[in-house]
Chain A
Amino acid sequence: MAYQILLNVLLACCWMFLIDTYSGTSFFIGYVLGILCLLIMRRFFSERLYLMKAWAIVKLLIIFIKEVIIANISVLKTILSPKSNYKPGIFAFRTELRNEWEITVLSSMITLTPGTLVIDISDDRSILYIHAMDIDDAEKAIHDIRVSFELGIMEVSR
């Protein structure tokens, strides 16, 4: 991915030298033309085009912000409801992710999403121990959300 970005910047610099104007605008035009060149030449790269990866990151960020807002609303409901009928608990979650940075991103996302808090990660990095605010109705729904996070992170790292 870094290699493709570097190539794109280099193509933009080439464009600036070709048209002999050194400004942000000409750099931008060169960058767009460079993207077109990479698009044409993409079958020579071993990875996929880096724009796809950037788009996956943007999608993950949008999901993340949405989940943070939902999390705050649900915690707010729990705190302000007069009767406390929730059942807290710790459950284990098996993750498919292997890289350390992927697990870090996943666990901080889990911590900031509705009613869950990562307590520990097992030594072989395959199980996350998660404290849930309400284990009854949350577990299945949370699992679905978690799968969407996990798939999003896989989409980025693929």
Chain B
Amino acid sequence: MIVAAKILIAYLIIQGALLCLIAAVGTLRLPDVYTRMHASSKGATLGVASVLLGVFFYYWFINGVFSGKVLLGIVFIFLTVPVGSHLLGRAAYSVGVKLDKRSVQDDYKGHRNFVIKHKDDSYL
């Protein structure tokens, strides 16, 4: 029982650390702000969440302490990271950061005209 718990804890923490590492590599490798934001927001969210889950299981199974603070931390990360990355992306766009050269589509450019022109489309 304890061994299985230890394996689970080790798996969760190593998985979280690897996800954070890959997110860091992604912020170096990807071309522009927006694609970097994909890597950082998604990788960091699940990475930190699984590290915290591992810590929670460690305190619960090994030490016998039910630590609610760690669970609250997971919930707060899931609530705040999307909002933070949305705000960063929006701020970057309104400051005028260009998209990468490979980008094929930019509906947000001149979006007010777009709203009037394509009023009746179901989705685009």
Q: Which residues of A line the B interface, CB within 8 A?
A: 68-69, 71-72, 75-76, 78-80, 84, 86-94, 107-109, 111-112, 115, 117-120, 122, 124, 127, 129, 131, 133, 135-136, 143
Contact = CB atoms under 8 A, between A and B. Distances in A.
Given A76-B22, A94-B121, 14 more contacts: A71-B42, A75-B43, A79-B39, A88-B99, A88-B104, A90-B99, A90-B103, A90-B109, A94-B124, A108-B82, A109-B82, A112-B78, A120-B90, A127-B111
Interface stretch (B26-34, B56-64, B65-73): B26-34
Contacts of A72: 19, 42-43, 46
A143 B46 contact: no
Nearest to B37: A117
B46 A90 contact: no
B117 to A, nearest CB: 11
A143 B122 CA distance: 11
8 contacts: A69-B46, A72-B19, A76-B19, A88-B99, A89-B105, A91-B124, A108-B86, A118-B86
Interface of B: 19, 22, 25-26, 29-32, 34-35, 37-39, 41-43, 45-46, 78-79, 81-83, 85-86, 89-90, 93, 99-100, 102-109, 111, 114-115, 118, 121-124
Given A92-B111, A112-B41, A87 B104 contact: yes
B115 A127 contact: yes
A133 B42 CA distance: 12
Contacts, number: 126
